[in-house]
Chains A and B, each alone.
Chain A
Amino acid sequence: MRHSLILGLAVFAIGTLSACDSFVEDVDQPIDRVDSDSLDQQREIDFLITGLKEGFNDAYDNVATISELLSDNAIFNTRVRNSTFPTYGQVDAAEIEFDNNTVDGVSTAVNEYRFLSDDLLRRIENTIEFSDDDAGAAAEQRARFAANYHGAVARYFLATYFSEDGQNGGAPISTERDTPGPVIPAADLYQQAQDKLALAVDGAPSAFEAQVANSLRARIALLQGDRAQAAAFAAEGLTEGDAPDCEVSGINLNVACYNAASQNNWFSQGGRGRTQISINPLFADLDAIDNRDLVETAPNASGADGNTYYRQGLYTENDADLPFLTWQEMALIQAENALLGDGDEDAAKAFVNPVLVSRSALENPEEAALGDGESFDQGALIDLRRRELFTQGLRLVDQRRFGIPFTRITYPQASGDPVETTVDGAFRYLPLTQTERNANPNF
């Protein structure tokens, strides 16, 4: 009996040893996530491209809202109901702590977007085998264009909105997890973007996609200080009628698209969803001459105090589209080159007038066009860009380009008119975050 028992136990123990591995490995698989490698298939290309576009949507409304706040277009006003996060106040004052978690949010969105674009390129070149037929070629073309185009946009965001010292643009791009890279100066990032856009244009699946890529080339060239090159690209860019509309343009490259789940940040952080970001009351005047509703009244936190506060009025639904590149901007780029590069005011007006007409609130919009006797100078150009490109994150760029003072609007303790003051801080870009500085030994 005893021997049998001990033998039985020994057999049981040996059997158990061999069964342990299979017991723990025989588990049901997750349903909400998939191994990255399993996406290395041609049939997943459109899933990956859509993900890239969603990454753009997320990154763009982040940079657009926060950079407008850093500029003199938008303000942080705690008198507006639910305008609460001090982190927004730091951005408005250009006095930004490195651990500002609002800036962290922007950084996260942009950097993840950059990764997705570069990762798609890696898959195309290393891991995905495209079929030899037309479908395979088309899929590869779509994927390459998306990877190059979005890779360029991401680099444009990094160069334009981030800085180590708050004064000079640039950001790191780290290709290794454990060895983060050093800051790449904005000029180099812009050049990387231009190189990618050139590839994108060369391999664009359609003329429209090439136009969009050229439009971004134009904007970047302008930021690189080459107005002539910018104008040349703009001429190959979007043209009147290329409306940034998620429903119309199909591939939506020139517009960020949202739904109730993803939500346009202008709605959720600077609009009816929640108003952390208010708008300079100056836009109430611009609203009067523009056929768009640029602003609307923002709810006062403490009831009537004698002031009227504003928030943007362009995106009143959570799924409102956010334009990224427009034909109007291309016209203004060409106008700028004509005016400030070539010194040809009439040529500049020729570019500007369709823009003025397109936005005119006049009963007869054509009356908004500048006549022969009307002047158009740098100030007018800057003002027009401010109105036309409102909410698109470009006012900050123009303030830097044209040396426009950084100011903010504050309100006196009791009732009274808003006061425009010079910002306290020296940040002209969003800082590279403490999260980056903590994890990146290059700082």
Chain B
Amino acid sequence: MSSTRTLAGARWAGAVVALLLAAPAFAQTATISGNVVAADTGEPLIGAAIQAVGTARGAASDVNGDYTLVIAPGSYTLRATYTGYEPLEVEVSVAAGETITQDFTLEPDLAGLEEVVVTGALSARSRSRSEVSVSRIDAAALTDVQQYSDVNQLLNGKVAGVSVQPSSGNVGGGIRFNVRGGGGLNGSGQPLIYVDGIRVDNAEFSGFGAGGQGIGALSSLSPDDIATIDVLKGPAAAALYGTDASNGVVLITTKKGTIGGGVDAPVPFQVTYSATTGVNQQQFEYDELTAGATAENANAIFEDGGIAQHTLGVSGGSSAVRYFTQFDYRDEDGIVFGNFQDRRSLRGNFEAFPLPNLQLGVNSAYTFNSVGQPQNDNNILGYLGNTLLLSTPYLFTDSAAVRAIGSEYRTNQFLGSFEARYSPIDNLSLRGQLGVDASDTRQDQTFPSQFVYSGRTNGERNVYTRENDQISFLLDARYSYAPAAAINATTAVGLQGFDRRLRTFTFGIQNFGTSLLSDAGTGVDYQASGEFFNNLRQVGLIAEQSLDIQDTYFVTLGFRNDYASTIGDNAPSVFYPLARGAVRLDRFDAVPSLFSILKLRAAYGESGQLPGSFDGIPLLYTAEPGGDGSGATIQQIGNIDIEPEKVREFETGVDMELFDRLAVEFTYYNQTAEESIFGRQLAPSTGLIASTLPFNVGEIDVQGFELALNMTPLASPTAALDLGVILSHQTNEVQSVGTDQFGEPLPPLFDGFDVNVLRPGLPRAAFYVTPVNGATFDPATGEYTGVDTGVLTDEQGNPLDPDCNVDDNRCYRGNPYPDFNGSFTANLTLFQDFTIYALADWATGLKVFNNTDAFRAQFGNYQQRSDLADQLFGTTDDEGNDVPPTVTPGTAEYEAVANAYARTQGTLDDNWIRDADYLKLREITVRYNLGRILSRAPGFDRVRTASLALSGRNLFQTSLYDGIDPEVNFNGARSLSRGQDFLTLQNPRQFFLTLTLGI
């Protein structure tokens, strides 16, 4: 019996090996083979893709640049593509049994304009032909050079108009996207994110809080799994993704298998291993100005956090089957105790080409991600709250108790998709795609019983679980035809759907007999529990018609009609149109030949944001358990008239490539969001304050420009220098926050701290506060009596400061989004093997509300205020002797000190809004390619690639901000509270050493 099983197993193994290794035998076949080399260096290009256009047949070049494509007899357009090089197409004909040779010499593509990128839900074309601005990040190339903890780091500074930052320095924390200023007025500003066609969870969530920060669902995705990231930045590009796409779409494509093998030993697979060791360090030290008397204590909370990562990948295949598998393990400690991320992921991507007109693909990844969160932000249990606010540390909570709090999220996530492409007839392509993002997260938060915590008796145990299952599907058909000479047309229709089920559960209990047991069942005092469930479905019908006239004029028209379970009665479905056009001016003789590409483009599109699942229901009740039992109470206030937010965008721009050395991409965009959805805090006197009221609040105009320059001032076999510059400018103005039922304008909307506002005439989330004018004085004695606040007016009652409003008694003090931001990149390669890469990014016109200092002033640990108080009122020395004031009432000096003192009063927000422009040296890497040396060494002849890289991140900052880190936000990534620094953990400085070895 056992031998039979062994035999059967061997047969299966043999079949699998045969499937992997052997090319399929066709009844009638022909063979095309050849070589692919780089035009600039003459070196063979390893892994170049050779595709028979319009079929699913293709091959990849091996280590010598050679390829072999077995195909049915016929005439084909063969396209050779390789990252960083312009694609090349040639026409070939091959008869049954014949073998022909077709070599390719590829020109470098400096700006990546010839790369095919996703330009919409149903379209993909090269950027040289695209009618919209699409940014592509070659993630595989970046991760080859630099270490990245997560997707946020991979994206930041790489795309004009997109900034991606963590809301705190926590490893594994939430990510804050800012895409063209955030689309509509609606708060989150987060783009849709697709991984291999699967719409993935882009939420930041938190169970039992650790201050203000949450967990980013994207933190489970390993950057090393990613091949490319395409970013559609606004409705003009993303319209056919429909509802929820107004903040753009991020399309992540993971790595796929390619044919290749070791030197002199061609085998149909490659093995790549990389190991990283590194450290997270405190980036900014506290001093007397930023931490008063407790700077030493604040600095003492930081410790170096180790980083270790091991990645093992195997990829390869044949012309019939390709595969990419990778195991990634990352263990990273943050810069304060309790912050860590332990991520293990296993990915398997498979492609099969069983028939010339059929392609099947499976992408799957399983990730276990464990994230530990320390207490910080608006929180008396936090490290920073205990070391910054009071002049004596840890008065709120003992240091050992702070350190003993455990808060860990464990997530198991499966990402999987299946895709089939089928061409039943020439030029007709059908695609079906089904994907699932299923994740289970559990948070355990423990306050050990041997420590004293405010509000907790003998310890506390909290458990939070979150199940998020979302299925997305896409069915589409594309038919390409030539309605007239030199005109190519493509008609595409599709159906895209989404089904999400989210279930959460919370449970809390206190009073444990021993700290040795944290089992919730051993606690005595039940605190609370709760469940939440939501099922959301969306489906959109998509149609697109595109024309390519003489490969010079490009026009696309399309629409999407969306249906969703959250759309209110007034809008049972939503229609989103799209229109685009581009013209390649370089095709005209009048254009100088220095332009290898010169393209003008313009696009218009609409997208939107859905209301929340329950927003259309006027009033929802729940049960409140208490001392009298379980009784009805208000859960949520809804709005039966709610409609989806609609965002319209027009963009126009120019793409050019000059002298084969300089590529320029410039885009101007103008967005108008109408009927934006925002949670309005109703007047408490209505009694409807259990939640905000979702409201179509009006209109906001956003406009800006994006400029991306890529240049290669130096390109020779011994030295190459690539430089990149990104510049973005964005302004926005709230036009209206809506009117009431009588047509009267509704009042402005404020965040919870009453600092950020949505108000007509001001930018989104503007800082809008009651002004502080200085001190008030006793007219008789000249002594300080208090703070002079309020808008100053002239004799006619008009404000002296044009940024102030008398009726509101507030002044505009800037906004938390930078007016300008950008980055510089430089990549220097010497002698082909030695590479230095650096990225610096910056922002100007940025303001931050330094609530940390505001509270330090209120709690008496703001040294500047204490010094001013000593000058005004006197003090006592260490021996208890009175020290008199140093300034005399009535003098100019006294007034100056008094005014300065008034401007440090902690409770007045105007005192704490700060300039926060910054310039950061974000990434730097020195890398040496060991491959050529090793391959010549005895015993290392099978080495395909090897490199050693030393990298750093957040190495230097210069900033106007007087706080610590201008990039953080105390209230996580997704609230109206923006640019508010309140005891928030700074981002770490990182150093890595990475060794990569491939055979």
| Residues of chain A whose beta carbon lies under 8 Å from any beta carbon of chain B | 1-2, 5, 9, 13, 16-17, 20-21, 23-36, 39, 44, 47-55, 57-58, 78, 81-82, 84, 86, 89-90, 97, 99, 101, 104, 107-108, 111-116, 118-119, 171-181, 246, 252, 256-262, 268, 272-274, 301-302, 318-319, 321, 413-414, 433-436, 438-441
Give the Cβ gap from B667 to chain A, nearest Cβ, in Å.
Answer: 34
Does A172 lie within 8 Å of B683, measured CB to CB? yes
Q: Which residues of B contact A81 (CB under 8 A)?
A: 395-396, 454
Does the CB pair B631–A24 fall under 8 Å? no
7 pairs of A and B residues whose beta carbons are closest in the complex: A115-B687, A257-B627, A51-B631, A50-B631, A51-B632, A262-B626, A36-B619
Residue of A nearest to B618 (CB): A36
25 contacts between A and B (CB under 8 A): A9-B493, A27-B565, A28-B535, A32-B531, A47-B630, A50-B629, A51-B631, A51-B633, A54-B626, A54-B633, A55-B631, A84-B396, A86-B855, A89-B858, A90-B907, A101-B752, A107-B684, A172-B683, A174-B683, A174-B685, A180-B686, A258-B626, A274-B454, A438-B749, A438-B750
Instruction: Name which of B174-182, B700-708, B738-746, B961-969 contacts chain A.
Output: B738-746
List 8 other contacts, CB 8 Å, given A34-B621, A178-B740, A180-B683: A30-B614, A47-B623, A55-B631, A260-B510, A318-B525, A413-B876, A436-B685, A439-B747
> Is B625 part of the contact surface with A, judged by Cβ < 8 Å?
yes
Write out the residue numbers on chain A whose beta carbons fall within 8 Å of the beta carbon of B534: 30
The answer to whether A21 and B572 have CB atoms under 8 Å apart is yes
Which B residues lie within 8 Å of A27 (CB)? 535-537, 565
Interface 1/0 per residue, B676-717 and A, CB below 8 Å: 000011111111111001000000000000000000000000
Identify which of A16, A97, A99 contacts B541 (C-beta below 8 A). A16
B532 at interface by CB-CB < 8 Å: yes
Task: Identify B622's interface contact among A32, A179, A257, A273, CB under 8 A.
Answer: A32
A178/B741 contact (C-beta < 8 A), A24-B539, A28-B501 known: yes
Interface presence of B617 (CB below 8 A): yes
CB distance from B528 to the nearest CB of A (A): 5
Nearest residue (CB) in B for A275 is: B454
B627 touches A319 (CB 8 A): yes
Min Cβ gap A209→B in Å is: 15
Shortest beta-carbon distance from B866 to chain A in Å: 12
A36:B631 contact, CB within 8 angstroms: no
**Residue in A54, A172, A433 with the greatest tally of chain B CB atoms within 10 Å:** A54
A24 x B622 contact (CB < 8 A): no
When chains A and B are docked, how far (Å) is the Cα of A31 from the Cα of B563?
Answer: 23
In the bound complex, how far is the Cα of B426 from the Cα of A5, in angstroms?
Answer: 12
Distance between A165 CB and nearest chain B CB, rounded to angstroms: 15
Q: Are the C-beta atoms of B619 and A84 separated by less than 8 Å?
A: no
**Most B CB within 10 A of own CB, among A108, A252, A439:** A439
B457 within 8 A of A: yes
Neighbouring A residues of B754 by C-beta, 8 Å:
99, 434, 438
Note all chain A residues with C-beta closer than 8 A to B563.
20-21, 23-24
Q: Does B906 contact A (CB under 8 A)?
A: yes
Collect the chain A residues with CB atoms within 8 Å of residue B527's CB.
260-261
Between A81, A84, A114, A246, the greatest number of chain B beta carbons within 10 A of the residue's beta carbon is seen for A84
B628 at the interface (CB under 8 A from A): yes
Among residues of B, the one whose C-beta sits closest to the C-beta of A52 is B631
Contacts of A177 in B (CB 8 A): 682, 686, 688, 693
Q: Once the chains bind, are B425 and A1 in contact (CB under 8 Å)?
A: yes
Q: Which among A16, A78, A438 has the highest number of chain B CB atoms within 10 Å?
A: A438
B380 close to chain A: CB less than 8 A: yes
Which B residues touch A58, using CB under 8 A? 626
**In the assembled complex, which residues on chain B have CB atoms less than 8 Å from the CB atom of A441?**
744, 747
| B624 within 8 A of partner (CB) | yes
B634 in contact with A257 (CB, 8 Å) = no
Given known contacts A24-B539, A257-B626, is B681 in contact with A31 (CB within 8 Å)?
no
Interface residues of B (CB under 8 A from A): 380, 389-390, 392, 395-397, 424-425, 428, 454-455, 457, 477, 493, 495, 497, 501, 510, 525-528, 530-539, 541, 563-565, 567, 572-573, 613-614, 617-636, 680-690, 693, 740-742, 744, 746-750, 752-754, 855, 858-859, 876, 880, 906-907
Is the pair B633, A116 in contact by a Cβ cutoff of 8 Å? yes
A240 to B539, CA, bound (A): 68
Question: Quick one: given A44-B632, A47-B631, A112-B634, are A13 and B493 in contact (CB under 8 Å)?
Answer: yes
Q: Output the nearest chain A residue to B617 by Cβ-Cβ distance.
A: A35
Q: Is there contact, CB below 8 Å, between B395 and A49?
A: no
Cα distance, A44 to B633, chains bound together (Å): 12
- When distances are taken between beta carbons in the complex, the residues of chain B under 8 Å from A436 are 683-685
> In the complex, which residues of chain A have a beta carbon less than 8 angstroms from the beta carbon of B632?
39, 44, 47-48, 50-51, 116
Q: Considering the chains assembled together, what is the distance between the CA atoms of A113 and B633 in angstroms? A: 9
Contact A438 B535 (CB under 8 A): no
**Which residues does chain A contribute within 8 Å of B497, judged by CB atoms?**
23
Q: Across the interface, do A433 and B684 meet the contact criterion of CB distance under 8 Å? A: yes
Contact A33 B636 (CB under 8 A): yes
Residue from the set A51, A89, A172, A257 with the largest chain B CB neighbour count within 10 Å: A51
The CA-CA distance from A258 to B684 in the complex, in Å, is 24
A257 touches B493 (CB 8 A): no
Cβ contacts under 8 Å, B392 to chain A = 301-302
User: Which chain B residues border A32 with CB–CB below 8 Å?
Assistant: 530-533, 622, 635
Write out the residue numbers on chain A whose beta carbons fall within 8 Å of the beta carbon of B621.
Answer: 33-36, 39, 51
Residues in B with CB closer than 8 Å to A82 are 380, 396-397, 454
CB distance from A57 to the nearest CB of B (A): 6
Chain A residues with Cβ below 8 Å from B618 are 36
Tell which of B425, B685, B752, B907 touches A86, judged by Cβ atoms closer than 8 Å.
B907
Complex interface: chain B residues within 8 A of A318 (CB)? 457, 525
Contact B625 A262 (CB under 8 A): yes
Once the chains are docked, how many angstroms separate the CA of A118 from the CA of B685? Answer: 12
Q: Is the CB of A179 within 8 A of B742?
A: yes
Among A111, A175, A273, max chain B CB count under 10 A is at A111
Tell me which residues across on chain B come within 8 A of A246, comparing CB atoms: 627-628
Q: A24-B565, A82-B380, A90-B907 are in contact. Are A33 and B614 (CB under 8 A)?
A: yes
In Å, the complex CA distance between A34 and B619 comes to 8
A259-B395 in contact given A30-B533, A173-B685 (Cβ < 8 Å): no
Contact pick for B525, options A112, A113, A260, A439, CB 8 Å: A260
Decide if B686 touches A258 in the complex (CB within 8 Å).
no
**Chain B residues within an 8 Å CB radius of A101:** 752
B617 neighbours in A (Cβ, 8 Å)? 35
| Residue numbers in B under 8 Å from A99 (CB-CB) | 753-754
| Nearest CB in chain B: distance from A102 CB, A | 13
Minimum CB–CB distance from B426 to chain A (whole Å) comes to: 10
Nearest Cβ in chain A — how far from B565, in angstroms?
5
A257 in contact with B628 given A86-B907, A274-B454 (CB within 8 Å): yes
With A51-B632, A81-B395, A260-B525 as known contacts, state yes or no: A179 contacts B424, CB within 8 Å. no
For A172, give its contact among B572, B685, B740 (CB under 8 Å). B685
**Could you tell me if B685 and A180 are in contact, using CB atoms closer than 8 angstroms?**
yes
Q: Are A28 and B533 in contact (CB under 8 A)?
A: yes
CB pair A53–B628 under 8 Å, yes or no, is: yes
Measured between beta carbons, the chain B residues less than 8 angstroms from A44 are 632
Note all chain A residues with C-beta closer than 8 A to B620: 33-36
Inter-chain contact B629/A31, CB cutoff 8 Å: no
Provide the residues of chain B in CB contact with A104, threshold 8 Å: 684
- What chain B residues lie within 8 Å of A50 (beta carbons)? 628-632
CB-nearest residue of chain A to B392: A302
Inter-chain contacts of B614 with A (CB < 8 A): 30, 33
The answer to whether A20 touches B457, judged by C-beta atoms less than 8 angstroms apart, is no
Q: What chain B residues lie within 8 Å of A13 (beta carbons)?
A: 493, 541
Determine which of A36, A53, A439 lies in contact with B680 in the assembled complex, contact meaning CB atoms within 8 Å: A439
Chain B residues lying within 8 Å of A179, measured Cβ to Cβ, are 740-742
Contact B683 A9 (CB under 8 A): no
Q: How far is the CB of B221 from chain A (nearest CB, A)?
A: 27
On chain A, the residues within 8 Å of B744 by CB distance are: 441
A379 to chain B, nearest CB (A): 34
Most chain A CB within 10 A, of B497, B686, B693, B753, is at B686
